[in-house]
Structure 1
Amino acid sequence: MAHIRFRSAVAPLRRNLFTRPATLPTVDRMVADLQPAEPMHCIRPQVLVSTARRFIDLFGAATGGDVLYAVKCNPDPAFLRALYRGGVRHFDCASPAEIRVVRQMFSDAHIHYMHPVKNRAAIAKAWNEFAVRDFSLDSQEELDKILAVTGKAPADLGLFIRLAMPKSAAAYDLSGKFGATLEQAVELLRRARPRAARLGICFHVGSQMMDPAAYEAGLAIAGRVIQAAGVAIDVVDVGGGFPVSYPDMDPPDLRLYMAAIARGVQALDLPAGTRIWCEPGRALVAGGGSVVVQVERRRGDELFINDGVYGSLSDAGVPAFRFPCRLIRRSDADLVAFSFWGPTCDSADRMKGPFLLPADIQEGDWIEIGQLGAYGATLRTEFNGFDQARLVEVVDSPLLATPGHAIAPQLPEMAA
């Protein structure tokens, strides 16, 4: 499998060197064959394809709009390739590196630079080298930068005003960093309208948002801004934040989110032809990836494993996400609660869990940890030299299903 290096500071995941079979293997088969002593990341391409198709179908039925994959969630080419097979053609990028990966892989991709603060060199690279035409902003200073770099008022420029949202109950509240106030957004829309071939308004309700009504509320705020600005809007982007299941998080069915967005859009009474966008990340890729780790020591109810918060388990650290996990061998022992220690020397490399595993787990055992297609391998660092990992493709279903998401059957791999 070809590898496009994404971050030069981090060792790339080692691809499986075996000849790819007509049918993908299971996780258990790969563990038996490879006996991995380093973390092994398992991609489920069929899950990614079916999840993308399901999301696109639901959002299309609700709004007729476009789904932009948030590349920051997982920029690995294998994930991008599977999402593309699932129908994703729009990509929300936050840096020239992400833009480069997408453009190198898919010449027909629609790339949207949705980071609201960019330096001039990044804007120029996106505009001149990679034919990016859509840019997000939340200030007059950013508007000035974009216009200066792109030539004041090019015929194909898209400008998207990022709205501030109130503090939310999402797992990750995103209200503090980006976003224009209502008054600022009104002024930005008025100033941007004469310069934009496409003018849009966008917002983000927070990551892992468990309340579908948050999108309806966000659209109501957008509606007030649009009405006050009094200018024509071409696109309304409801952002990302669509949740997935974790052992202590059971989100509402995805269809309820689509229904809430449809109600919010209908209430805006937008002109015909106005496009609706969304920017899912976690919802498209979380179930499509897992990591297999090995137990290096057991100390009571604490397990020392070969991956941790400086590797692919960052969300299990301070954010204290609990992930589904299983022991990769047969055991009839009762499930008990464990915490994890990562492989580095830092005492902050701790994941309190609890993670439920058989009581007879021991040194040398392998554990599969699921829902890590999102913000897993992409957050790895080189700290203490624990940056080596392997990547394989497998046929398994996700360790944990999310209501409303498609789950791929265990079938032969789809043709690329």
Structure 2
Amino acid sequence: MQLLQDYEGYVADREQALAGLRRYENEATALEIEQSNDAVHFLYIDKISEAASAFLTGFPGTCLYAAKANPHPALLRLLWAAGVRHFEVASIREIESLRGELPFAQLYFMHPVKSRQAIARAYALGVRHFAFDSLDELRKIKQETGHAEDIALILRLSVSQVGAAYPLDNKFGATLMEAPLLLTHARQIADKVGVTFHVGSQCLEVEAYANAIYNIANMLDGCGVEIDIIDVGGGFPISYPDMEPAPLQDYFDVIEKALKECGFGDLEIFCEPGRAMVAAGGAVAVRVELRRGQSLYLNDGTYGSLFDAGQLGWAFPVELYRAGRLEVPSETSLFQLYGPTCDSIDKMKEHLALPDDVCEGDWIIFRHLGAYGYAMQTKFNGFYSETMVAIEAASEIV
């Protein structure tokens, strides 16, 4: 398990990670100085390090950071500085970006459906772990790696999504009935074989992981195929205003107990945290461009960083910035929020409680958007933001 390096080495790595990123004591100072016309993204240095440490020291195996959650180069380098050495990737662009930023990182191509060009390019760049969920995908991997014998093939399985705020069960994953045949074929051509699953994003049911592990153990007992790897995927939750999950350690304990009871304790164990690794480590500030009654028109929306708030209707912790201060006042009203694009669906599903006197020029800071905020931006209508700054304690600024 990769742990934090000694303090001197860690600080040096972190300083290198932050090179070129503007750093401020707080959000108010950042917004005053930046004077950005676009939304402003924040990285909270210490929170990122703390979350990485929680996984590296608490999870009973190897943590693969899911790069899709936030692929900003500074964040990737901060995770490396915190001890993360393994990264889950879903595309050739993610692979090439990580190879450029972190050339010694271990990469795992866990998307179950990949283009032939992406498979060949990934193998050429040193990727040896590939996910699949069908015989056709298995055939592609075999052919495009040149019938390589040094690869690990990991079967994506479909499992129950009970407890997931965002289910992911209708696109990928072989059934437990299909698994024996697929594993048998993989065993014939791969150096290592494993299984992986995803219980759904923001999973609030701790036992969902254990149930999946027990079901997989029963399937393996019946088919007689031995595996080398079990990957429990992502889905680890964080706290939102209307979602309060169990402590992260509870998930780790349940997973470890199930693995031992099923005889998987000696296997290579992976997990793929994305949201839980970086969500609290980021936020986005969006500006009110116009108030019309109880409607607010913003410079960011569902085509940008607020996809989860808009399309999923999720609630995020928010604070208002105005006149040099952050505030969470008690007297509030409900407002309908609209994004900046010309599309009428660019709006929040739910109304948001904000100060009664919110007005043009105020900034709304949506917290816990270190995951799927920056990463979900499109360039529709030319509205997007590349402004990323770091927030840290005044005593740490150099």
Judge same fold: TM > 0.5, yes or no.
Answer: yes
Aligned to 1:278: 271
Q: Alpha-carbon deviations, 1:192-233, whole Å to 9, x = none?
A: 113211111110000010111100011112112221231221
Contact 1:323 1:355 in 2 (8 A): no
Instruction: Specify whether residues 148 and 386 from structure 1 end up closer, same or farther in structure 2 by C-alpha distance, changes over 3 A only.
Output: same
Q: Deviations over 1:358-414 (max 9, x none)?
A: 222111111211111111111111111212441111127xxxxxxxxxxxxx75169
> Distance in 1 between the 2:98 and 2:20 partners?
26
Match of 2:206 among 200, 205, 212: 212
In the alignment, the residues of structure 2 paired with residue 113 and residue 333 of structure 1 have an alpha-carbon distance, to the nearest angstrom, of 47
Match of 1:223 in 2: 217
1:208 is paired with a residue whose SS is strand
The answer as to whether partners of 1:325 and 1:355 remain within 8 angstroms in 2 is no
1:255 aligns with 2:252: no
Q: Aligned partners of 1:284, 1:312: CA distance in 2, in Å? A: 18
Residues 297, 174 of structure 1: CA spacing in aligned structure 2 closer, same or farther, 3 A cutoff? same
Take 1:245 and 1:359, find their aligned partners in 2: how far apart are those partners? 26
Aligned to 1:55: 55
- For residues 225 and 142 of structure 1, the distance between their equivalents in structure 2, rounded to whole angstroms, comes to 21
Task: Give the structure 2 partner of residue 348 of structure 1.
Answer: 345
Give CA-to-partner distance per residue, 1:94-128, whole Å, 9 cap, x none: 00000111111122211000001112111000011
SS of alignment partner, residue 227 of structure 1: helix
Unaligned stretches of 5+ residues in structure 1: 1-15, 397-409
Pair 1:200–1:94, CA change in 2 (3 A): same
Aligned pair partner of 1:148 in 140, 143, 146: 143
Match of 1:322 in 2: 315
Alpha-carbon distance in structure 2 between the residues aligned to 1:18 and 1:230: 54
CA separation of 1:279 and 1:18: change in aligned 2, threshold 3 A: closer
**TM score, norm. by length of structure 2:** 0.90
Structure 1 residues 18, 142: closer, same or farther in 2, change over 3 A? closer
Mapping for residues 42-121 of structure 1, pairs under 5 Å: 42-59=42-59, 63=60, 65-121=61-117
What percent identity do the matched residue pairs reach?
A: 43
Q: Per the alignment, do residues 373 and 150 of structure 1 end up closer, same or farther by CA in structure 2, a change over 3 Å counting? A: same
Structure 2 gaps, min length 5: 1-17
Aligned to 1:33: 33
CA distance in 2, matches of 1:232, 1:162: 16
Q: 1:166 to 1:35 in 2, by over 3 A?
A: same
**Aligned positions of 1:185-204 closer than 5 A:** 185-204=179-198
Q: CA deviation at 1:338?
A: 2.3
User: What is the CA-CA distance between 1:178 and the residue it aligns to?
Assistant: 0.7
| Counterpart code for 1:366 | W
Runs of 4+ in 1 over 6 A off after TM superposition: 16-19
1:18 Cα deviation from its structure 2 partner: 8.5
**Structure 1's 344 and 100: CA in aligned 2 closer, same or farther, altered over 3 A?**
same
| Corresponding position of 1:3 | none
Residue 389 of structure 2: aligned partner = 392
**AA matched with 1:125:** R
CA contact (8 A) 1:322 1:354 kept: no
Compare 374-383 and 276-285 and name the one that shifted more: 374-383
